[in-house]
Chains A and B, each alone.
Chain A
Amino acid sequence: MFPVCAGATIWQVFPATNAVTQAIAKSSAGDTIEIQSGTYRENTTIDIKHSLHIRGVGNPVLDGQYKGQIMSIWASGTTISGIHFIRCGKSNLEDYAAIKVYHVNHVTISQNTFEDNYFCIFLLKSDSCIIRQNFISGKAVFEQTSGNGIHLWKSQHAIISENKIQGQRDGIYFEFVTNSRIENNISAHNIRYGLHFMFSHRNQYTGNRFTNNGAGVAVMYSNHVHMTRNVFDLNRGQASYGLLLKDISDSRINQNRFEKNSVAIYMEGSNRLTIEQNNFIRNGWAMRIYANCEGSKISNNNFSGNSFDVSTNGSEDHNHFVQNFWDKYEGYDLNHDDIGDIPYRPVSIYAMLMERIPFALILYRSFVVSIFERIEKIMPVITPVNLYDEKPLMKPVRL
C-alpha cells in the first residue's frame, strides 16, 4: 500500500493478511482507502476510529469467515462503498453485523454487496446516516440464525433508499427510529417481515416494493407514519399480511397497491388513519379491521377481485367508509352522478361467520352461503349496522 496524493491521502490496499487493518492504522482522519479487487481476510474486526472514505475498486471481498463482526464504525462522516461483505459471525447472544455503526452521525454506506451475513447493516444511536443502493442477500431459510438486513436502533433522520434486500429475517427493521425516510427499496423473500417498525414515529416510506415475505410488513406501536406508493404483494400464509397495523395512529396510507396477499391490511388498535387511493386487488381479505379501531377514513380506494372486502369482529364500526369502488356492488345509478344510489355493505355475513368459526371456509362459494348472503342483504342481522359506504363509486378510481 502507498499514499498517492498530498492533502487528504489516498491509500491503496492490495490483498494480504490484515492489509485493511494496517492501512487504517497508518491513515489519518479524512483520508481515502481504496481497496483493490481480491479477497481480504482480517484477523480481527476492522475498527474505524477516525473518519475515512473506504472505497472498493473492482468489487473486493471482505470475508468475515463466520468469526464475529467484519467492520465497526466509531467515527462520524465515514463513507463505505463498493465492497462485497461475506460471512460475518452468527451468534445467539451477540448481534454480529457486517457493518455496525456506533453512536456517530453522517455515515454513508452505499453500493455495497452483502452475502451470507447475520445482520448486515446495523446502526446504533446514529443520526443522519444514508444507506443507499446496497444489495443484501441472506441465506436464511426458516431458521432462527438469521439477522435483519438493515437494522436501526434509536436513530433519527436516516435515509434508506434503492436497496435490494432478500433472504434475511426482517428486510428493514426500525426500533425507536424517528424522522426517517425509506424510499424505492425492494424487500423480498425475507423470513419474517419485509419491513418492521416498532415504536418509530414520524417516518415515511415511499415507492418500495414488499413482495413474497414470510409475514409481509408490520408497522407497530408508532404514530405519524406516512406510507405512499408502495407495492405489497404475494405475502401469503396463515399469519401473513400485506400490511399489519398494530397500535398505529394519525398515519396516512396513500396510493399503495395491495395484490394477492392473504390479508391486504390488518388493523388492530389503530386510530385516525387516512386510507386513500389504494388498489386492493385479488387478496383473500382486503381489510380486516378489529373492533378496537376508531376514527379512520377509508375513501377513494378500489376493491376488486378480493374474496372478502372487509371483515371485522365487532357488531359496530367506528370508521368512515366513503366513495370507494367495490366490484361486488350491485346497485344502480339512476341519476348518473357516478355514485351508487344505495349504500354498499362491504362486510358479508360469511366474512362475519369466518371471524367466529374459521373452519367455515369450507363452505366458501357454496349454495348455503349464497342464500345467507341474499337474506342478510335484505334484512341485515349479523353484519355491523353502521359499516357501509354511503356513496359507492360506479367506476374505479383512476390511479
Chain B
Amino acid sequence: MVKRLSLIGFIGLLFLTSCSSGPKEIDWGKNACEFCKMTLMDHRFGAQIINKHGKSYIFDDIICLSGFIDAATLSSESIKCIYLIDFNGSGFIRADESVIIKSESIRSPMSSHLASVRAKNDFTTSPGDNILKFEDLFPGMELKCQ
C-alpha cells in the first residue's frame, strides 16, 4: 500500500514539475544555447522562450533568440512568454517589459551588441547607441505571459 501511494506521489510530482511557469534557472557553464549551441557563460546576456506546454528554450544572446524565431522552429502561436536577461545582473525580465539597447560598447557572446535592461536609465548610453523595444525586434508578436 505504502509502495503504491509513493508511486502515485512520484507520478504526481512529475506532473507538478512539468506545469511550473516562469523562466527556468540557467545552469551557467552547463546549458547550451538552443540556436548556436554555445555554452552559456556570461551572466549579463541570455534569453529564454517558454512555450505553451511549459518547455523552455535557452539562448546566449538576443540575436540567437531572434534567429531561432526567424527560422520558425517554433510557431509564434506556441510561444507563451519570452524573457531576457538583465545586463545589470538582476536575472530575467519579461521581454515586453524590457528595454533593449544596441551599443558598440556591448560585447555580447555573438557580437550582436545587444543587451536588455529594466529601464532606459539603467544603461549609460553614448552617441550612436540605439534604444529599442521588444516590438521593434519582433513586430506583431504577442506574449501570453502570466
Residues of A within 8 A of B (CB): 92, 95, 142-144, 169, 175, 191-193, 198-199, 214-215, 218, 220, 237-239, 244, 246, 266, 268
Contacts of B41 in A (CB 8 A): 144, 169, 191-192
Q: Which residues of B contact A214 (CB under 8 A)?
A: 29, 39
Q: Is the CB of B29 within 8 A of A239?
A: no
Q: Is the interface on chain B under 10, 10 to 19, 20 to 34, or 35 or more residues?
A: 10 to 19
A215 touches B32 (CB 8 A): yes
Q: How far is the CA of A237 from the CA of B31 in the complex (A)?
A: 11
User: 8 Å CB contacts to A: which residues of B75-112?
Assistant: 89, 107, 110-111
Whether B29 contacts A142 by the Cβ 8 Å rule is yes
Residues of A within 8 A of B28 (CB): 142, 144
Residues of A within 8 Å of B37, CB to CB, are: 218, 239, 244, 246, 266, 268
Residues of B within 8 A of A246 (CB): 36-37
Once the chains are docked, how many angstroms separate the CA of A102 from the CA of B128? 23
By secondary structure, the B interface counts as: loop
Ranked nearest first, the 5 interchain pairs of A and B with the lowest CB-CB distance are A239-B32, A215-B39, A192-B39, A142-B29, A144-B43
Q: Are A198 and B111 in contact (CB under 8 A)?
A: yes
In whole angstroms, what is the CA distance A65 to B30 when docked?
30
Smallest Cβ-Cβ distance to B105: which chain A residue: A93
Residues A239 and B42 in contact in the complex (CB < 8 Å), given A144-B28, A191-B29, A215-B32: no
User: Taking CB as reference atom, which chain B residue is nearest A218?
Assistant: B38
- A92 contacts across to B, CB distance below 8 A: 43-44, 89
A144-B42, A215-B39, A220-B36 are contacts. A239–B31 as well, Cβ < 8 Å? Answer: yes
Residue from B38, B39, B43, B44 having most chain A Cβ neighbours under 10 A:
B39
Q: In the bound complex, what is the Cα–Cα distance between A218 and B39 (angstroms)?
A: 10
**Chain A residues in 8 Å Cβ range of B39:** 192-193, 214-215, 239
Residues of B within 8 A of A199 (CB): 111
A143 to B41, CA, bound (A): 8
- Alpha-carbon gap, A239 to B58, bound state (A): 13
**How many whole Å from A92's CB to the nearest CB in chain B?**
7
Which residues of B lie under 8 Å from residue A239 when comparing CB positions?
30-32, 37, 39
